[in-house]
Structure 1
């Protein structure tokens, strides 16, 4: 494949995606459509994006750990459960037709935006951690199905985890984020293996995107949890809405 200057768009978009994925979620809603617009078939764009997500989340895990934030081994149990689900989801994503995949992605993008804006607020100071016993077993079951979704498309899964972990396991926002990136890192290994075996990865674009994603993840993981949600939400709604419209109609 000849190098095109349009590919350099992956660097700033990847940085923003890595940053958003680490502090909240939604980065895939930017990178996956961009890869499709750069000419990749839907399944190849999906597989290519996973390489960047794998390195991004591994970087974020190190970033959180450098600040003393970790939920291991709780995050490991959830990650392994999601790992097996992700291999199923990735296989489903490869087998689906490109046009249908684009439509599904457009619908998911809109649903994620609605979830982002209408999800209930959570008082993280009043919750109690529950990472053992029945709460752990329920989380393992739930994250298996999250893994299927993550392996299939991954878009917006960060928002789902940030909704589930505080309610199901009583984790604070920062610990939920740390758990989220660890789980995604583990299950993405399974997804990457499936996409690689099926030759559904463009390694040149994956390398470029990875540089942006990993840089954004490192900055995001070390940034204060007290972020300006309004600015991020405004950015997401404008960008994601535009990409969803283009995916559906063009």
Structure 2
């Protein structure tokens, strides 16, 4: 593929996505539709997006670890369970026709938006961690299915994890974020393998997108989640709803 200067637009899109993914989630709701609008078939756009996600989450994991924030080995157990599911989800994504995939993505985007809008603010400061025994087994089952979803499309999975981890496992918001990026990093390896074997990755565009994602993640790590929450929610509601409408009628 010849280089097109319009591809450089992926850098600011990736920057925003990396910022959002680092402090909350939802970056894929921007990058995946953008790749599709640039002319990539849905499976190719899906696979290309995974490279940026993998590198971004790896950097985030290292960042949390450098600050002493980790839920290991709990996060590893969840990551391995999700990894198994991701192989299934990625294979399903490759087999779906582009037009149907676009409509599925549009519906998912609206559902995630409703979750963002309707979910009231929660208190994550007083929690009791439950990461062993029966609760661990329940979490493994939940994250296996999250892995299927993550392997399939990944859009909005950060929000789902930030809803599940505090309520099922009693993790603080900070530890939930650290667990989230670790799990996504692990299962994305599986998704990347599937998409790569099926030749559904545009490595040039993946590299360009990764530049934006990585820089956005670096910038986002220096912002407070609480301080920027209202702005992020408003931005997501306006942008994602617009992209969902365009996808449905594309």
The bucket for the TM-score relative to the shorter chain is: over 0.9
Query: What displacement does 1:230 show?
Result: 0.8
Change (3 A) 1:121 1:226: closer
Report the TM-score, using the length of structure 2 for normalisation.
0.98
- Does residue 45 (structure 1) correspond to residue 45 (structure 2)? The answer is yes
Change (3 A) 1:222 1:60: farther
List gaps (5 residues or longer) in structure 2.
Answer: none
Partner Cα separation in structure 1 for residue 217 and residue 78 of structure 2: 21
- Does residue 201 (structure 1) correspond to residue 201 (structure 2)? The answer is yes
Partner Cα separation in structure 1 for residue 22 and residue 132 of structure 2: 25
Per the alignment, residue 128 of structure 1 pairs with 128
Q: Is the 8 A contact 1:63 1:218 kept in 2?
A: no
List gaps (5 residues or longer) in structure 1.
Answer: none
Report how many residues are paired: 250
Per the alignment, residue 232 of structure 1 pairs with 232
Q: Is the 8 A contact 2:24 2:225 kept in 1?
A: no
Deviation sequence 1:26-61 (CA, Å, 0-9, x none): 000000000001110000000000010000100111
TM alignment of 1:99-118, pairs within 5 A: 99-118=99-118
Per the alignment, residue 54 of structure 1 pairs with 54
Query: What displacement does 1:140 show?
Result: 0.7
3-state SS, counterpart of residue 20 of structure 1? helix
Runs of 4+ in 1 over 4 A off after TM superposition: none
Per the alignment, residue 73 of structure 1 pairs with 73
Query: What displacement does 1:222 show?
Result: 4.5
RMSD of Structure 2 on Structure 1 (CA):
1.0
